[in-house]
Amino acid sequence: MPNGDENYDILTYLEDYVKDYPDKEIRVINAAINLFSEKGFSATSTKEISKRADMAEGTIFRYFPTKDAILERMVPLLIHAIKPKLEKPVKDIIAERAGEPVGDIFATIILDRLNIIRGNGRLLKSVLPELMYREALQQQLTQSLLPMIRGYVSQVLEEGRKRAEIGPHVSANTAMHQLLGFILAYSLFGSKDEAQAKKDVEEFMDGVMKGWAANAQD
Amino acid sequence: MPNGDENYDILTYLEDYVKDYPDKEIRVINAAINLFSEKGFSATSTKEISKRADMAEGTIFRYFPTKDAILERMVPLLIHAIKPKLEKPVKDIIAERAGEPVGDIFATIILDRLNIIRGNGRLLKSVLPELMYREALQQQLTQSLLPMIRGYVSQVLEEGRKRAEIGPHVSANTAMHQLLGFILAYSLFGSKDEAQAKKDVEEFMDGVMKGWAANAQD
DNA sequence: ATAATGAGTGAGTGCTCACTCATTATAACA
DNA sequence: TGTTATAATGAGTGAGCACTCACTCATTAT
């Protein structure tokens, strides 16, 4: 197993969602996720998948008409793994943590997001590279996620403005790229250590909030 | 041609570097870059490459011992395309633009970087996805680029501190992730329009510098 | 005029691929 | 238990793969 990750198992992360999938189907998807993330989609053969899933090659094609269909099935899984974490409306989080500054709330959200990415790293690594060459899948994912993210960033910015913690000069678009970018870069190159990540994220958000501050000098 | 990009040609971007490569070799690499970026490495056959390069399939193997070797040749090309842009020492840039605030200088650097990424998008798209499965290539690239980037970020921070534009609370590591992240996210999801990009980058750097300001309230 | 060269060729090679299907094992019900 | 329905199997299939090699022929040396 490369890069020290343990084997991914959908049941650990998405049990509620896949609980009435046939057992065989889950085994195929699990095997495929792990192989695709190790060697890539095209370099993985259906024979290998069947071996890893501990069944005959023919059985795969009872449950999936083509090899492509296995990959395509992963996209809704990925969306489902990520969306609910984003979905918990930010206003709720703000309500829950009513006293705290918006910057701390953002820091919590970012850390949460980094953990999602880490937990579903293999699923991401299976699907994302192939998205580059499959526009249909790509749009399925970005159209279902990007506007929502922008919406929630907007909400938090608005909340921050009401509380006079954030000035009017900050656009949702730039803010989104700023946050998304940090998450992306940190999940690729950042520290794997949880405590270090917490420190880094807090320092990052601290700086960001100072830049966004309502009373920042022009 | 997907996503509207024109065909990539090494000679446009790296003529000085490849000028004494044999003509056939350049044609193979060009064909491969364009095909890999469209369909991926594994999904591209050597027969297709030969067709696109307008030569017999056998001729490819006179110049490259294996298909893998074509990909491996692209890594130094990619490093060479990106490194010199980073290499122009930041102190030089600061000296050249002596009067301007560090934030503006950063904005210029970031825009420059976005253009490099845009110009070499196909080369990046050919190589980056395969890096995920090839640790050797991955290390070749990150070890040759990341420490250098951190070094230059450090330099600019130091310069900013001397000028009292940046406070002592900003670490090179977080700053690097912040800048790298924005570049990454913006090159993936950001506006393709040059003028809009300039505006977004300036707004981003404006916010960042306010956050980094020496006199930011704690 | 003749000989030597080697870049270029593309049919051929053994092999692997995604996918099929006749056969066998298991389950369901009488 | 016997009969039927469903599930699982893995050898088989043609297509396509990366790579080879015997051969061609324009160019150069003699």
- Specify the pLDDT at position B184: 80
Q: What is the DSSP letter of A65?
A: S
Residue B136 and residue B45: Cα distance in Å, rounded? 23
Please check whether strand C approaches the CB of B56 to within 7 Å.
Answer: yes
The 10 Å Cβ neighbour count of residue A138 is 16
- Tell me the CA–C1' distance in angstroms for A122 and D8: 29
| Chain B residue nearest residue A182, CA to CA | B181
Q: Which residues of A touch B138 (CB under 8 A)?
A: none
Q: A174 and B200 in contact by Cβ < 8 A?
A: yes
- Tell me the CA–C1' distance in angstroms for A160 and C14: 67
Q: A129 and B125 in contact by Cβ < 8 A?
A: no
More confident residue, A99 or A122: A122
Q: A130 and B40 in contact by Cβ < 8 A?
A: yes
The structure tokens listed for B58 are 């056998």
Angle at which helix B121-131 crosses helix B135-162, to 10 degrees, equals: 120
B106-131 burial string, b = 16+ CB within 10 Å, else e?
bbbbbbebbebbeebebbbbbbbbbb
- Tell me the CA–C1' distance in angstroms for B16 and C11: 39
Find the nucleotide nearest B22 (Cα to C1′). Answer: C7
- Tell me the CA–C1' distance in angstroms for A48 and D11: 17
Q: B217 and A207 in contact by Cβ < 8 A?
A: no
Residue A59 and residue B147: Cα distance in Å, rounded? 49
Residue A2 pLDDT > 80? no
Query: If interface means Cβ-Cβ distance under 8 Å, which residues of chain A face chain B?
Result: 2, 38-43, 125, 129-130, 132-133, 135, 142, 146, 169-171, 173-174, 177-178, 180-186, 188-190, 200, 203-204, 206-213, 216-217
Please check whether strand C approaches the CB of B91 to within 7 Å.
Answer: no
The answer to whether the beta carbons of residues B205 and B103 sit under 8 Å apart is yes
Q: Which nucleotides of C are covered by protein (CB under 7 A)?
A: 7-12, 16-22
Residue A98 pLDDT > 90? no
- Specify the pLDDT at position B1: 45
End-to-end CA distance of chain B: 52
Q: Which helix (H) or strand (E) holds A62?
A: helix A57-63
Phi, psi of B118, rounded to the nearest 5 degrees: -65, -45
Q: B182 vs A7, A181, B185, B204, B208, CA distance in Å? A: 31, 5, 5, 9, 11
The dihedral through the CA atoms of A63, A68, A71, A73 has a sign that is negative
- Specify the pLDDT at position B216: 58
The answer to whether the beta carbons of residues B156 and B100 sit under 8 Å apart is no
Residue A3 pLDDT > 70? no
Nearest CA-CA distance, residue B112 and chain A, Å: 18
- Specify the pLDDT at position B185: 80
Q: A199 vs A116, A180, B175, B211, CA distance in Å? A: 18, 18, 13, 17
Determine the residue type at B188: L
Q: What is the mean pLDDT of residues A80-84?
A: 84
Nearest CA-CA distance, residue A98 and chain B, Å: 21
Q: A104 vs A81, A85, B200, CA distance in Å? A: 24, 18, 25
Confidence of residue A1 (pLDDT cuts 50, 70, 90): very low
Which three-class secondary structure string do you get for chain B?
CHHHCCCCCHHHHHHHHHCCCCHHHHHHHHHHHHHHHHHCCCCCCHHHHHHHCCCCHHHHHHHCCCHHHHHHHHHHHHHHHHHHHHHCCHHHHHHHCCCCCHHHHHHHHHHHHHHHHHHCHHHHHHHHHHHCCCHHHHHHHHHHHHHHHHHHHHHHHHHHHHCCCCCCCCCHHHHHHHHHHHHHHHHHHCCCCHHHHHHHHHHHHHHHHHHHCCCCCC
Mean pLDDT lowest for which of A166-175, A180-189, B124-133? A180-189
Distance of CA A216 to the CA centre of its chain: 32
The answer to whether the beta carbons of residues B72 and A162 sit under 8 Å apart is no
For residue A132, the SS3 value is coil
Helix H segments across A102-163? Answer: 102-119, 121-131, 135-162
- Specify the pLDDT at position A216: 58
- C-alpha dihedral, A206 to A211 to A212 to A215, nearest 10°: 110
At A26-48, the pLDDT tens digits run 999 999 999 999 999 999 999 99
Picking from A93, A117, A109, A124, the residue whose alpha carbon sits closest to that of residue A204 is A109
Per-residue pLDDT of chain B (218 residues; tens, 9 = 90+): 444 457 899 989 898 998 888 899 999 999 999 999 999 999 999 999 999 999 999 999 999 999 999 999 999 999 988 887 777 766 777 788 877 887 888 888 888 888 888 888 899 889 988 988 998 998 888 888 888 888 888 888 888 898 888 988 888 888 888 888 888 888 877 788 889 889 988 888 888 888 888 665 54
A-interface mutation test, from B36, B41, B132, B143, most A Cβ less than 10 A away:
B132
Confidence of residue A99 (pLDDT cuts 50, 70, 90): confident
- Tell me the CA–C1' distance in angstroms for B31 and C10: 19
